[in-house]
Amino acid sequence: MKTPPDIFDDAFLRTNAIMEAKQALGIEDRYRNYYQCEECDVEWTMLWSCGCDDECPDCRKDYTPYDSVNLDEDDDDA
C-alpha cells in the first residue's frame, strides 16, 4: 500500500486550499469520509459537510467514501 502524500505534495496544498475556502464560506465539516483508491491503493480521509466523493490525491480519480462518520452524532454520544 502506498503512503499518503508528502506534506509538500500538490495534493496537500490542494487540500489546504479547500479547507481555507470552506472556512471563508462558513461551511462546517460534519462528516469524516474514508476513501481508498483501487488504482493506486492509497487510503485517505477528508472532512466534508456531507458524505461526498473525493479525488485520489495520487491519480485524481473520483471515489465514493467506503465509510462516513457523522461528527455531529459522535458529539451527542459523548
pTM: 0.61
Q: What is the pLDDT of residue 51?
A: 84
Look at residue 3 and tell me if it is in a domain: no
User: Which of 7-21, 44-58, 60-74 comes out lowest in average pLDDT?
Assistant: 7-21
Q: Is the pLDDT of residue 12 over 70?
A: no
Domain assignment present for residue 4? The answer is no
Q: Which of 29, 30, 28, 33 is nearest to 68 (CA)?
A: 33
Rounded to an integer, the average pLDDT of 46-53 is 86
Does 15 fall in a domain? yes
CA-wise closest residue to 44 among 25, 59, 24 = 59
Domain boundaries, position 61:
10-77
- C-alpha cell at position 45: 480521509
Given a cut of 80, whether residue 23 has pLDDT beyond it is: no
Domain total in the chain: 1
The predicted-structure confidence for 25-40, as pLDDT tens digits, reads as follows 776 668 899 999 999 8
What average pLDDT does this structure show over 54-68?
A: 93
